[in-house]
Structure 1
Amino acid sequence: MSKVPHEVKDYVALPVTIQSKALGKDVKHYIYIKASEPDVPDPDSPRSLFLVNIPVTTTEAQLRHLFATQLSGGHVERVQFAGQHGTASTSSSALIVTTKPAAKEAPTTLGKRKRPTQTTPADIEAKLSSYTLPSTVPSTFHATGSTATAIFLDRTSRDQILRACRKAAKSSKPLIWAAGLAADKIPPLGTSRYEAERRLTFPPRADLLALANDFMSTYSELEAARARESAKRRAEPDEDGFVTVTRGSKGVVKSDEAEAIKAKAKEKQDKAGLQNFYKWQMREKRREEQGALLRQFDEEKRRVREMRERRGGVVPER
C-alpha cells in the first residue's frame, strides 16, 4: 500500500481515525486543508481555512472539537458547508425559529418620556418568514468529497491551526474523530437515526399549537401595522398641500371580499339611476302603480265581504 503524502500541492493531508461500530474497526480518513483563497475574496478570507473531503456526517460541533481539543486550540467563529450561505449556522434540532424581542428600555424619571418605536410592516413580514415547521431530519449528510470553510476569530488563530495540521500530518499520533465529544453532539446513525427521524415526524401537539398561535399573533400585528400605515398615508397632504377626506377603514384592513361587495353595490346603484330616464319608463311605472292599487282595493273588498258572511250579515250588491 502506497504511503499518502503529507501535503498535496497547497493542501495538508490531515489523517483522522473514525471509529465505526457497524464495521467493528477503525477507518482512517484524510481531510485536505489549506488557507482559503477564493476567486472573489471577502473580508473573512484571510482568517479562513478551506477543507476538502470532510466525513459525510460532519457537523460544526465536530470540527470545533477537532480544532480546539486535538490540535492547537484555535477558536472557530463559524463553519460554512458547501451550499450553505449566510453567516449564521442553523441547527436541525430547533423546533421553532423566532425573532428575539427587543430589549426594553429602563424607565427614567427625568426628562421627556420617549414613545415606544412602532414596528414597521416590513419588519413584521421578515419575522413571519422566519417561522418554520419542526424539522423531521435528525442530521444532514454530506456528499462524498464535500467541502467546508472554517472561519476563525483572527488570522493568527488560522495560521496556528494550519501549523498544527502540518505537524499532525507528519507525526504518527492518531487524531480520533469526535473523541470525547458529548453524545448529543454526535449525529445518530443506523437504527438510532431512523428512530430519531420517526420521533421528529410526530412533534408534540403543544409545540405545534404554540407555533400556530405565535404565527397568528404576528399576522394580526402585521394587519394592525398596515392599517396604521394606510391611515398615515391618507392624512399626509399632497403636492398642493391638500388632504383628501375619506371615510377610512376604522383600523381594519379592507379585504378583497369587501372591495367586491362595494363594487357590486355601486354597479346596482348605477343601474337604478337610469330607470326613470325616459318618458315611456315613467308611464309604465305609473301604470304599474295604479294596477297595484286596484289589486289591493279588490283584495280589501273581498276580505270585508268574507268577514260579514261569517258574522251573518247581509252584503249589499253593487
Structure 2
Amino acid sequence: MILVTGGAGFIGSNFVLDWLQGCDEPVVNLDRLTYAGNLSNLAALQGDSRHHFVQGDICDQALVDRLLAEYRPRAIVHFAAESHVDRSIHGPRDFVRTNVEGTFSLLEAARGYWARLSNEEQAEFRFLHVSTDEVYGSLAAEDSPFTERNAYEPNSPYSASKAASDHLVRAWHHTYGLPVLTTNCSNNYGPYQFPEKLIPLVIANALAGKALPIYGDGQNVRDWLYVGDHCSGIREVLARGVVGETYNIGGWNEKTNIEIVETICDLLDDLAPAAEGSYRRLIAFVPDRPGHDRRYAIDARKIADELGWRPQETFESGIRKTIGWYLDNQAWVEHVQDGSYRDWLETNYRLRRSDR
C-alpha cells in the first residue's frame, strides 16, 4: 500500500492511473479537491478495490495520522501543492499554506508513523517529495542546465513556497532520520492538465477561436517533460533512489513559448482545421507577468546514470499525443471550464492585453 497526496490533480492522477495499470499494489489517494483536483480524472478506477480515495487536506494532521494508522502504507508520494505561478502572484497565502504548512504537517505525521514501525518496516519506508525546477531560479541563455547541486534562487511566491517545502523535507531527514527522496521536475504536459497552464490553455482557446496569449516576447524557455515520463521517473526513484538524495527529472526538450504555441497551432491545423485559416492568426502577445523567469533547463544525467531512467517521449511525439487526448476529451475540458475558471482568466489577463 502507498499513500499518494494530490492524486486527483494533473500529475498525481496520471501517477495513480499509471501505478495501478502497472501493478496491483493498492493506493490511498488523499486530495482536497480544489479547483484543479478532479475526480473525473480517475473515472477509470471507479469500483476498483485497489484505489481508496479520501477527500481531505494535508494540513489536517489528525486526518493524515488516522490514514497512516489505518492503511499502514510503505511509502508516501507527495504531489499535493498549489502550482500555478500566476495564481501565486495574485494570492500567495494559499501557496504558503498548502506548500509549506501542508508539507510540514505531512512530514510530522510521517515522522510519528515511521517511529512506530518495526526496524524492518522503517528500513523499507520512503517519503517521496515531488518538487519543481523553478526552485533553482532563472538561467541565462549561455548557462548550463540545472543540476542537483544548483543553489536555490526562487523568484515567485510559488517557487519560494516549493523551495521552503524542499528544505523542510531535507531537514526532517538530517534531523530526524526520516527516509526521504526529492524529485525536481521540469514543465509537465499531457492528459488531464488544468487549462490555466500554457499547453492546455492554447489548445482550448484555439478550438474556441479565442486569442492565444503569449507573455512578453515569447522567448522564455522551458524544458518540457511528458507527464507519463515524469511518472515513470518517480517510480524509479521510489524503487531504487538513495535515501536523502535529490533527482532532477527533465525531458531534454528546451523550447521557447512561441515555439510551443506555433507547434500546437500547426498540429491543430492538421488534426482539427479551423474554417478561417491557420490557428496562428489567434496568437496575441500580452505584457509580461512580474518576475517571469527567462529560462529553465534540467540536467537529468544523475537519474540516467544512477537509475537508468530516460524519457521515452520526444516533444514531437508527446505533444501530438496530448493534442489528440484533448480533442478526444472535449467533455472533460468543458466540465472544468466553469464560471470560476472564466473569472480567473479574466482577472489574470485583463491588464495584459496588447496589439503588438
TM-score normalised by length of structure 1: 0.19
Q: Higher relative CO (CA 8 A, sep ≥ 6), structure 1 or 2?
A: 1
From the two aligned structures, give the one with the greater helix fraction: 2
TM-score normalised by length of structure 2: 0.18
